[in-house]
Structure 1
């Protein structure tokens, strides 16, 4: 156990060290990790050409001109990683790698899984049953109310909430989770050092202070992009047993999480308030999905709460589309 722990400590230092090299980005390090190449062994290598090839970087001639300068470069690199690793320990930030026992199992079983996770706060939340609550950045009063209702429904059920810290539904999910004492996980579309969106710093601190966690696979100072947010959404969908999209549209960022949820064969749940909502393309899309469920609020509130608590045992509850077919059969 001690040797294994030492191995992962060294991998953490090496991983952080390599990020300090200008030009070394996410895709390069992801490819190295996916090939099961040790970051520590890469820094230890005597072969400078192998080092450059793997990192896709041409080092300055002053580094490669002699064996002494090459060794000094690696020692300095290691020191940079060591300083960062110690700082992260003080700040309660951990890094878990794909092959580590502590890496969440549900994230291992998806296409293109994360090769590592930065986790700030209570990493134990990653192993608890969870519900992803996601949705529009431009939330209406109805959407905000439904989000609050959903969080209240999972309170005291041993569940964790998952969302993306975005304005609107996501931030409402985190805020209400804190109010209802539900541990909440914010999955970022940026590096752990970046605060996005602006003004979310205080909420991040509250999430951690109240037993939740901040999670990302992106490199330390990596900025946001549309691609990064789409890729981030697969982590939300795979962490949670159930995804609940609120006020989403077929063509939206939330739709990516909905589609990932379908790809991973997880449950999709959509509460609705008005009878007219049943005509929405979004509800029809969820009703048509094998593990999709829609619930009228407040009429089916108790059914929704029961489902959120024990989805596997409730799997025989027919979807809206199946209910219509049953009525025709009768």
Structure 2
């Protein structure tokens, strides 16, 4: 096991049979799981996002109790919570109550079969729950522990990534890959896809936030990345109901979750008028450190980052720039109490090479000499 652990098994159970953080018990009064109550209400014609959010804010994990309210009182209850068009929505629920619940139970079973959990408002990761306008639930495919176990570093950027942007993104991921860090991005084409692929290559666990329902694959080119994220112990998360298609405003809202979960946001490439600028502004609002990359032709997103109080600019293609990012990633991992080792990637590669090659003793002697020389250089540098 390397320092990232056996990622497919992390966080799946708790000691002494206790539920994991994201497992919320059914409401004792109704026995109806939060997931079923949420899905049923989400399918009620006319309720809409505003009404559904109002009900969840009011009832939280006890949302199932709403389904025990008699038809004669349902409109008054919806009006009390300030659900728009309460009478019309109450009539809809009363008329189709059995069908809504049956469909919701079938959908909840289908999601569970596809390794999708539903996290209620009381069990959300603390960093997300504390946000202004925090999500009230999350649909999560894969291992939800990836959302809870920090640190998280968001690597984000434009869909129109340039060759230098690809290099910059890969350099950022290779830098953070030395430490027990979880990468956060948005599973879009461009920088997001490059970041996820590089993280998977380097053994880094991934979290991807979606701007649409959890059961929708978009863009189609990222389907393989998504499957690998889940297969390697990561998580794909969405606050949108199953079947909700993507809209521009939803991707903006998705960006706030990337910034909110992150301990550090790295904006690899983009323009100050593009979508990544929203992530930068959210990060500044939440007082998350933001790193921007500079190189000739990198775009003007760095100009925006340079004006933010939490912003910092580096040239990722220089030794000094890489070392700056390395120090930030290592510090983030240290702050969570992790054991950090800056040469962990070298250690893993060396172990693989040693397995594959018939190494004579003189090769190992030469390696030892190389390490001794490095130590000598470090000692000399300290002495100066």
Residues 270 and 221 of structure 1, relative CA distance in 2, 3 Å threshold: same
CA distance in 2, matches of 1:203, 1:152: 17
Instruction: Give the C-alpha shift of residue 313 in structure 1.
Output: 8.7
Q: Which moved more, 1:282-291 or 1:109-118?
A: 282-291
**Residue of structure 1 in register with 2:375 after alignment:** none
Q: In 2, are the aligned partners of 1:29 and 1:55 still within 8 Å (CA)?
A: no
**Residue of structure 2 in register with 1:323 after alignment:** none
Select 1:307's aligned residue among 328, 345, 363.
328
Residues 81 and 63 of structure 1, relative CA distance in 2, 3 Å threshold: closer
Instruction: Give the C-alpha shift of residue 15 in structure 1.
Output: 0.7
Corresponding pairs, count: 302
Residues 289 and 52 of structure 1, relative CA distance in 2, 3 Å threshold: closer
Instruction: Give the C-alpha shift of residue 35 in structure 1.
Output: 3.0
Q: In 2, are the aligned partners of 1:189 and 1:218 still within 8 Å (CA)?
A: yes
Instruction: Give the C-alpha shift of residue 176 in structure 1.
Output: 0.9
**Residue of structure 2 in register with 1:298 after alignment:** 318
**Residue of structure 1 in register with 2:58 after alignment:** 35
Instruction: Give the C-alpha shift of residue 109 in structure 1.
Output: 1.4
TM-score for the superposition, normalised by structure 2: 0.72
Residues 153 and 188 of structure 1, relative CA distance in 2, 3 Å threshold: same
TM-score for the superposition, normalised by structure 1: 0.83
Q: Could you say which structure has the larger radius of gyration?
A: 2
**Which digits, 9 at most, give the CA deviation of each residue in 1:68-100, with x for residues without a partner?**
xx6xx4343322222222222221111111223
**Residue of structure 1 in register with 2:106 after alignment:** 83
CA distance in 2, matches of 1:91, 1:168: 27
Residues 114 and 4 of structure 1, relative CA distance in 2, 3 Å threshold: closer
Alignment of 1:101-120 (within 5 A): 103-120=124-141
Instruction: Give the C-alpha shift of residue 59 in structure 1.
Output: 6.1
Select 2:68's aligned residue among 31, 34, 44.
44
Residues 134 and 63 of structure 1, relative CA distance in 2, 3 Å threshold: closer
- Unpaired stretches in structure 1, ≥5 consecutive residues: 65-69, 315-330
Residues 136 and 95 of structure 1, relative CA distance in 2, 3 Å threshold: same
Alignment of 1:1-330 (within 5 A): 5-7=25-27, 10-36=33-59, 38-46=62-70, 47-50=73-76, 53=79, 54=83, 56=85, 58=88, 73-100=96-123, 103-127=124-148, 128-274=150-296, 281-296=300-315, 297-300=317-320, 301-311=322-332
- Unpaired stretches in structure 2, ≥5 consecutive residues: 1-17, 336-384
Q: In 2, are the aligned partners of 1:273 and 1:298 still within 8 Å (CA)?
A: no
Instruction: Give the C-alpha shift of residue 23 in structure 1.
Output: 3.6
CA distance in 2, matches of 1:34, 1:61: 22
CA distance in 1, matches of 2:293, 2:204: 19
Residues 309 and 52 of structure 1, relative CA distance in 2, 3 Å threshold: same
Structure number with higher relative contact order (C-alpha < 8 Å, ≥ 6 residues apart): 2
